[in-house]
Amino acid sequence: MRIRPKILDILELSKDIMFNEFDENSFDSRKYETFMMANAITIATRQLKFGDGPERKELNKLLNLTNPLASPEASMENRLANVYSHVCLEIRKGNFDPDTKNHKELRNILNDAALQLVKEYNPKYLEGNRNK
């Protein structure tokens, strides 16, 4: 499940703030807000470029691993949230403990999901860690 507002909401809010609250004298006094909006727009752009492919792949891997009931009519975002709720319950039951057969597979799925989020929100972090 992605922890983010809707991309269009980010872009609309940034546009509204820039057009309604900023003028040519605002930059110095509102530098932080300006950079935050630019960062939000950059993240939204990356998310649009990635599309929902990574989430679909994540959902399919989790469905193959857990076999929960997921309504195909629900949005992909809701299906992913429901599957993660199921995974959390299974984790609490001990079904993904280190000594179980699916532990490594779930760990890989979660690692890939976290890596994808870093690619969307802070790809420079990954560039800095390649040299280490």
Domain ranges of the chain: 7-50, 53-130
Residue 55 identity: E
Q: Which two tokens stand for residue 128?
A: 């800095």
Tokens describing residue 28: 């110095």
Higher pLDDT pick, 30 / 92: 92
Q: Which amino acid is at 102?
A: N
DSSP codes joined into one string, 100-132: STTHHHHHHHHHHHHHHHHHHH-HHHHHHHHT-
Say whether 99 sits in a helix, a strand or coil: coil
**Structural tokens at position 46:** 């990356």
pLDDT value for 131:
53
- Residue 44: other Cβ atoms inside 10 A: 20
Q: Which residue has the higher pLDDT, 84 or 22?
A: 84
Confidence (pLDDT) at 21: 81
H or E segment at 22? none
pLDDT at 75: 80
Residues making up the chain, counted from first to last: 132
Query: Which pLDDT score, from 0 to 100, does residue 1 have?
Result: 38
- AA identity, residue 46: R
For 80-132, what is each residue's pLDDT tens digit? 888 999 999 999 999 999 999 999 999 999 999 999 999 998 999 998 766 55
Q: Check: CB of residue 66 under 8 Å from CB of residue 33.
A: no
Q: What is the pLDDT of residues 3-17, one digit of tens each?
A: 566 777 878 888 888
Residue 64, pLDDT > 50, answer yes
Tokens of 9: 């909401």
Does 55 score more than 60 pLDDT?
A: yes
